[in-house]
């Protein structure tokens, strides 16, 4: 992992340059996205294992309900992450 605190601000940045902090926020958002991708992969593996091991309706409905709950939470988190990113993009444009 790189240390974004070593990034130098462009000369147009104000004296108290927010660029390093904004880049840390963007990195944090990217890390959260990566974690959500890992959760989605785990849910996919769970579905595959359950479908291979069980064929009864109750078990398949239970796994569907579980995965749907997880997906609903992920979708909600994606909205929060998008709002965070949307709020810093205009500020990041000044840092490039």
Residues 35-72: tens digit of each pLDDT: 999 999 999 999 999 999 999 999 999 999 999 999 99
pLDDT of residue 26 exceeding 80: yes
- For residues 21-36, average pLDDT: 95
Please count the CA atoms within 13 angstroms of the CA of 79 that sit on its side-chain side: 5
pTM for this entry = 0.76
Over residues 20-38, mean pLDDT: 95
SS3 74: helix
Helices (H), the chain: 19-53, 57-93
Do the Cβ atoms of 67 and 46 come closer than 8 Å? yes
Mean pLDDT of the chain: 87
| CB-based contacts of 42, cutoff 8 Å, min separation 6 | none
């Amino acid at each position: 992992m790189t240390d974004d605190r070593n990034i130098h601000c462009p000369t147009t940045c104000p004296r108290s340059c927010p660029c390093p902090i904004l880049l840390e926020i963007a990195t944090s958002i990217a890390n959260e996205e990566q974690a959500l991708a890992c959760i989605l992969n785990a849910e996919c593996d769970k579905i595959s294992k359950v479908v291979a091991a069980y064929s009864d309706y109750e078990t398949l409905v239970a796994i569907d309900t579980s995965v749907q709950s997880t997906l609903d939470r992920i979708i909600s988190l994606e909205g929060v992450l998008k709002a965070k990113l949307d709020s810093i993009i205009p500020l990041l444009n000044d840092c490039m």
